Amino acid sequence: MAAVETRQKRLLAVIALPMALLALSAVYPVFFTINAALKTRKGFVLDRFGLATDATFANFGQAWNQSRLSEYFTNSVVVTIGAVLALLLISSFAGYALAILRFRGSKIVFAIILVSLMIPVQVVLVPFYRTMIALDLINSRAGLVIAYTAFFLPFSVYLMTAFYARLPRELFEAAQIDGAGLVQIWWHIMLPMGKPALLTLGILNTLYCWNDVLISLLVLQDKRTLMVGIAALRGEYTTNVPLLAAGIVLAAAPIVLIYIVFQRQIVSGIAVGAVKG
């Protein structure tokens, strides 16, 4: 038995090698981006892969000013936080209702959510824009929060439903026998139990909202978000890669920082939620 265990350990160690290579390939773009951001455009054209020898920080300054990042930063933060919170709350409600409560018609509701997951964004652009105008949501951050919530909701509801459906039903039934109300069960059982899925959704939705360009372009035309500012750094013909790289480093830095700082909480959060069964 011990032999089996050591053999497994050895096997895992061997597997770790290709995994480390893959990890290296995943880190490379980060290195490349930072390195490119430190070059001048001319320096980059002449030598694309070499180390930036005369490191310049001018690109960061230019990206900051040209894409008016300071102005757009707040918009991105406010909208992302608002939308992610709304998404988590609404999808945890809906997941609970669809997977646990299972009212009459829940299958149809789930089907509608599924269908909406499959609608290509391009086809809804024009009617979506008209709806936003009709509801007077254009050019407001609240409008963008609503738009993001609506666009990323099907995915979130689907994940929460799949996750809650996985939980043993006895948990719910035991709580009911204990006399807990259905709202209490949501608050005391479903939310804590859903933590791994909610954390995952939190990460993914933060990324979606933070990185979105198209929806933001349509909804916020006066105030813009960070990624729109970055996207505009690409000209019609030229992509000034060092400038763009600097912009991307600036825009991705907050996300990466949050991820690194909260890495432990996220990890333990996912572990705590594990079902002790």
Partner 1 sequence: MTERQPSAARRRFLGDNPERLGWLFVVPALALVIIFRIVPLIWGFGTSFTDYNGMVAPRFIGLANYASLTHDPVFMDSIVNMLILLATLPIWIGLPLVLAILIHQGVPGGKLFRAVYFFPAVLSSVIVGAIFNMLLRYDGSFNAMLKGIGLSPVDWLGNSSTALFSLIAVQLWATFGMSLLIFLAGLSTVPSDMLEAAKLDGAKLMATWWYIVIPSIRPIIEFAAVVTTIGMLTSMFGLIYVLTAGGPGTSTTLPEFLIWLEQGRMNRPGYASAISMVLFAMMAGLAFIQIRIMSRNASL
Partner 2 sequence: MTLTRRALCAGTMLAAAFAVSVGVASADTTLTVWDWKSGDPTTQPYFDAVKKDFEAAHPGVTVKYVMQPHDQYYTLLGTAISAGQGPDVVLLHGGSQTKERTGALVKLDDNIADIKGRIAGWPEFTGADGDAYAVPISIQGFAVYYNKDLWQKAGLDPNKTPKNWADLEAVCAALKKAGTTCFALGNKEGFGADFFLSAVAANGWTAAQQEAWTKGDLKWSSPEVKAIVDAWVATKGAGWYAEGANSTAKFMDEYESFERGENANTIGLISDVAHWMEFDDFLGADKVGVYVMPPVAGGDGSLKLPLAGGIGYGVTNFSPNKDLAIALAKSFADTPHMQVFFESAGAIPADTKVDTSKVESPSAKQILAWLADGVPLAHNNMSTAETEEWHRQSQLLFTGETTVDKALARMDEVQAQAKKK
The answer to whether residue 42 forms part of the interface with partner 1 (CB under 8 A) is no
The answer to whether residue 189 forms part of the interface with partner 1 (CB under 8 A) is no
Name the segment binding partner 1 (CB under 8 A); options: 57-65, 68-76, 144-152, 218-226.
144-152
Conformation bin of residue 68: beta by default, left when phi > 0, alpha when psi is -120 to 50 = left
The answer to whether residue 195 forms part of the interface with partner 2 (CB under 8 A) is no
Sign of the torsion angle spanned by Cα atoms 213, 216, 222, 224: negative
The answer to whether residue 124 forms part of the interface with partner 2 (CB under 8 A) is no
| Residue 259 tokens, joined | 């991820």
Asked if 84 and 209 count as a contact pair (C-beta separation under 8 A), the reply is yes
Query: Of the candidates 52, 78, 171, 180, which one interacts with partner 1 according to CB under 8 A?
Result: 180
- 124 contact, one of partner 1, partner 2, none, CB 5-8 Å limit per kind: partner 1
Q: Determine whether 266 is exposed, middle or buried from the number of CB atoms within 10 Å of its CB (0-12, 13-18, 19+).
A: middle
The answer to whether residue 197 forms part of the interface with partner 1 (CB under 8 A) is yes
Compute the distance between CA of residue 8 and CA of residue 81 in angstroms, rounded to an integer. Answer: 43
The answer to whether residue 236 forms part of the interface with partner 1 (CB under 8 A) is no
The answer to whether residue 239 forms part of the interface with partner 1 (CB under 8 A) is yes
Smallest gap from residue 184 Cβ to partner 1 (A): 7
The answer to whether residue 50 forms part of the interface with partner 2 (CB under 8 A) is no
Query: Of the candidates 204, 217, 218, 232, which one interacts with partner 1 according to CB under 8 A?
Result: 204
Nearest Cα to 209, choosing from 82, 24, 37?
A: 82
Nearest Cα to 230, choosing from 63, 15, 53, 11?
A: 63
Query: Of the candidates 77, 78, 191, 217, which one interacts with partner 2 according to CB under 8 A?
Result: 217
Smallest gap from residue 53 Cβ to partner 2 (A): 17
| Residue 175 tokens, joined | 């709580």
